[in-house]
Structure formats: structure tokens, C-alpha cells
Amino acid sequence: MDVSPNLNENDNQPLYIQLYEYFKKQIQVSGLSASTRLPSIRRLSDDLKISKTTVQMAYQQLLAEGYIESRERSGFYVIKLEEESFGSILPAQPLASFKTEVGGKQTRILYDFYMSNIDFNHFPFDSWRKCSNQCISRDHKDLLSYGDKQGERGLRYELSKYLRRARGVNCSEEQLVIGSGTQVVLQIICQLTGIDGKKVAMEDPGYPGVRNVFQHFRFEIEPIPLEEDGIHIDALSKSGAKMVYVTPSHQYPMGMVMPIAKRMKLLQWAEENGGLIIEDDYDGEFRYRGKPIPSLQGLDAHGNVVYVGTFSKSLLPGIRVSYMVLPERLLNIYKRMLFMYDQTASRFHQKALQGFIQSGEWERHIRRMRTIYQKKHTALLEAIKSIMKTNVTVTGQDAGLHIVLKVKSDKTADQLVKIAEEAGVKVYSTTPMWLKKDSAGDPLILLGFGGLSLEEISDGIERLNAAWTPYYRHR
């Protein structure tokens, strides 16, 4: 494919957007046929004399918008856009099922190992309803109006005490900011930091939900490879980025827990380079082996860490409540900007949460869930060990709500996912989480266990193994 965009460094739009627009036009208007292979990132970068990051970001945007697809060990290909009929009635389904339908064939999924599913059979309906109802009464008419733009003070106070106890986070309620989801909270961070710097380093593979936010705010993503114990700090230093997003309690997706030595090194990098660390502790409450390691934020003496957390994994994704702890350097800017932005999280849920934490229900719930998830975690590891044996290697265990299987197979991760799906088992590829996929190496599959019962876990692994057996490598 001959690629000759007219790139202009002095244009208003960044280079990667110009390149993206060029390809989009080629695909939409000039009718580049489906399955046309795009040049490799390295090749295009050399030919056009632009940085690989620029090409990568243009491809990422095309990927995100569905113009191209990435085929492992093969490259990027134009995909045929389906006719979208205006006003057609699509059945409402969460993302997981939607993917099934787009494939065309509807397979009945019996076991869904989705990473973001959590256990609902032990949800404390009665105490949650009680806390919620206390907010909807004539005695609390004030709750009907707009609340504190930063988030309800009472909740921030209870939360700051809990975070200190449970995660070693050192903050007052003044530093806490509430938002309706982690992406909202990350957007605020982008607005607080965007003017000063445009490069952000991310673990690769990393969490696409946050990567999308950075990209939409025109940050340049520096993908930093992982070592066995987490992000490669020398690579981070060399990248020149002054901001880094990490998931040290349970790397997303690979699952390793960042040990204390590396945490100290990372904090040192921040202090020596004027760096800012965004620590996303999304499922930090769930650790099954070893002592919990204190948050980076608590270990830091220099105010270089933004601590981000959420209730979506430990309590309820449906209420949409996440939070962050701002260090002084960002808190000042935030306070000045505060009046410009309405609070996005429901005031009712915030107050219910406040009561829930204050009454002790929250910590009882966490302890209960930790025990339940530990059982499921053990069941999953035992099932994998006894059923799949040495055909797979497990990583990312001992914390969080998912593990990663490295499968001894010549199939790609996407192929293994499809094979599993045809057998009624939904598992997940790590492919969308990479920016710079190392195409060598065995396929990596994510298995979440939060949303399955103990029986479903072992039955699911049984069925998965049966589906994959013909494809295991036997040398």
C-alpha cells in the first residue's frame, strides 16, 4: 500500500491526527478494500521520517474507531465497516455480549471469566438499602440540591480515615476528590497537568480505559515494558516522560504486585526528575498471600503521587463512585479550578456510602468479600493445576480479581478466545491492552474469577481445557 500523506509540522493539528485523518480518508472515501495491510509502524516511521510514536498513535486511533484491526504477528489491516442503519433497534447488552454478537454467530455463554465481574451473591442488600433510604426523606431535604463540588465532605472524611487504616494513604479530606468513575477522575488529572506536559508513561500492557482518556486529551503515551516485578524503571527514566500511570497493587492486566524495593526506586525517580506518579489502586483491598504492601502514596515523602481508587471492584460498579487524593502541587491548581466543574457523582450514593463506612458495614463487607474471593482464587488455581497441568503457566495470582494464563500453544490469544467461546466459555485476550505488542511469546489469556461461583470455576476450567486440548503444544 502506497502511503503519501501531506504532513505539516506547523499545522494546528498534531502530526498523528493528520496521519490518522489521512488514513481515515483513504479508508472511507478512496475505498481502501478490507484486509488491505497497512505498513508496519517501523516501516512507515522510516519512510515518512516521523517518530514511531506518531505512527503508533495514529494507528491506535484508527484501531479505536474501528477502521483497522490488529492481527497478532501480522500487522494492521483495514476492516470492513458494517452498514449501520439509522434508528435500528440493537438489543441492549454489556460490552462482553456485544462482542459475541458482532461476530455474527450467537453462542450461549455458560461461563464468563470477565475481569470486571464481581460477586453479587453476598451483597449486603438490607444494609445498603437502609443507608440509601436514610437519604431520601423529608428530614434531609437539603440533600435534594447540588452538593459540594469536590464531593460530600462527610464521605471524604470517612474515606480518608479508611484509606489511612487500610492502605497507608496519608491524607486529609481536603485532598480527596470524588468523581463518577475512574475515567472522570483521570480526566481531572489531565486537566490539572495538561498545560505543563504532554508525555505520559504507561505500563505496557496497561489499562485501555485510562489510556483512552490520556489520548483524548492529546497526551503522548510512552509505553514502558514490564519486568517480572512491574514497570521497568530504567526504561521509564530513558523515556523522558514526567508523568507515569501505574497499578502497583495488581498490575493491570498482568497481575504482578510491585515489591517494596521497586516502589522506593519509582519514588526516587519521581523525586529526582520532577516526576508525577498516578497510582491506581483499583482492587487494592484483595491480597491473598503475603502482607499488604503500603500504597506508594503512603511511602512517598515528597508529594509526587496521586492516589486513585474506586468502589467499583469492592462494592458496586453501578453507583459510579471513584476518588483520588491530590498532592499539594496539584491541590492548589484544583482549588482554583474547582468552581468551574460540577460534581459528577450522585449525592445520594455519596451520603449512603458515608453512612455505610461510618457504621462499620463497609469494612465488614470488605473482610467478607476478601474471604470469599480468596476461596474462589484458591479454587481457580487448584482447578488450573489439576486440569490444565503444565500446558499453562499462571501469573498475576495472589491479589486482585483476575489471573493471567500463559498457554503453551501455537494459536494466538484471539484464536484461543474464539475456540473457548465456541465451547461456551468466555475468556479474554490481553491484546487490546498492548501498545507495543511483543509478537513473540505464547498467548496470554485473562481469567477473572470474581463473578463465578466455586462450581462454575471448576466446571468452566474443565470445559475450557477440553476446548483447548487439541491446540496445546506437546514438545
Closest C-alpha among 7, 48, 107 to residue 424: 107
Q: How far apart are CA 251 and CA 166, in angstroms?
A: 19
Beta carbons of 466 and 153 less than 8 angstroms apart: no
> Could you tell me the smallest distance in angstroms from the CB atom of residue 220 to a second copy?
10
Nearer to a second copy, 442 or 456 (CB): 456
Nearer to a second copy, 250 or 349 (CB): 349
> Could you tell me the smallest distance in angstroms from the CB atom of residue 86 to a second copy?
5
> Could you tell me the smallest distance in angstroms from the CB atom of residue 275 to a second copy?
20
Q: Which helix (H) or strand (E) holds 348?
A: helix 347-358
Cell of 434: 498492548
Q: How far apart are CA 434 and CA 197, in angstroms?
A: 23
> Could you tell me the smallest distance in angstroms from the CB atom of residue 251 to a second copy?
20
Q: How far apart are CA 93 and CA 426, in angstroms?
A: 15
Task: With H, G, I as helix, E, B as strand and everything else as coil, classify residue 63.
Answer: helix
Nearer to a second copy, 172 or 371 (CB): 172
Nearer to a second copy, 208 or 400 (CB): 208
Tell me the helices (H) and strands (E) count for the chain, helix number first. Answer: 16, 16
> Could you tell me the smallest distance in angstroms from the CB atom of residue 199 to a second copy?
11
> Could you tell me the smallest distance in angstroms from the CB atom of residue 70 to a second copy?
15
Nearer to a second copy, 53 or 344 (CB): 344
Beta carbons of 403 and 397 less than 8 angstroms apart: yes
> Could you tell me the smallest distance in angstroms from the CB atom of residue 230 to a second copy?
25
Cell of 466: 477440553
Closest C-alpha among 170, 132, 146 to residue 354: 132
Nearer to a second copy, 263 or 351 (CB): 351
Q: How far apart are CA 455 and CA 43, in angstroms?
A: 50
Nearer to a second copy, 20 or 113 (CB): 20
Q: Are strands 243-246 and 199-204 parallel, antiparallel or unpaired?
A: parallel
